[in-house]
Amino acid sequence: MKVHVLQIPEDGKHYEGEESSDVLDLKDPHARARAVGPIHYSLDVGLSESGLFATGTVSAEVECECVRCLTKFRQVLEVPDFACQIELEGRETVDLTEHIREDILLALPAHPHCDWSGENVCKADFLTDKVAEVEPLDDKRDVWKSLDKLKL
């Protein structure tokens, strides 16, 4: 997203729209996440003494693969408090793309789980349910009986 410095009034300007998610470079089919929609932004941009600042929200929809059950699911990555400050150094245009890209990539979960949103139940949860059904050990039960039944 490029911003023309000369088009920004003294009280700032609001930018809202979409950019292609190609800048995220999440195209590897073997990766745990890939972009499936455009990047949405709603930014307030203003000028300070020698720089440009932008604050607002950015978001992108990604398809992730659950690290527990390997199911693919979609998740919206939102950066609600996006902020950056860029020195102008005589430039008339400023490209915010790299700053937006960086914040969205930092929002990517390192180990995505399909049940984080609360809408799904992970297929791998059947393992934890089976563990919960096992009888707890108590002091009165002979824990060695099972080992005595082994035929070696």
Digit-coded pLDDT (tens) for 130-143 = 544 455 555 555 66
Give residue 137's pLDDT.
54
pTM above 0.85, yes or no: no
Share of the chain above pLDDT 90, in %: 35
Give residue 131's pLDDT.
46
Residue 109's domain comprises 2-148
At 69-128, the pLDDT tens digits run: 888 889 899 999 999 999 988 888 999 999 999 999 999 888 888 887 777 788 876 655
Total number of domains in the chain: 1
- 102 and 84 Cβ atoms separated by less than 8 Å: no
Among the listed residues 82, 95, 83, 91, the one whose alpha carbon sits nearest the alpha carbon of residue 3: 95
d(CA 112, CA 122): 11
Answer with the residue of higher pLDDT: 150 or 4: 4
d(CA 96, CA 41): 11
DSSP H/E element including 81: strand 72-87
Over 90: is that where the pLDDT of 56 sits?
A: yes
**Neighbouring-strand partners of residue 72:** 65
Give residue 115's pLDDT.
83
d(CA 121, CA 145): 37
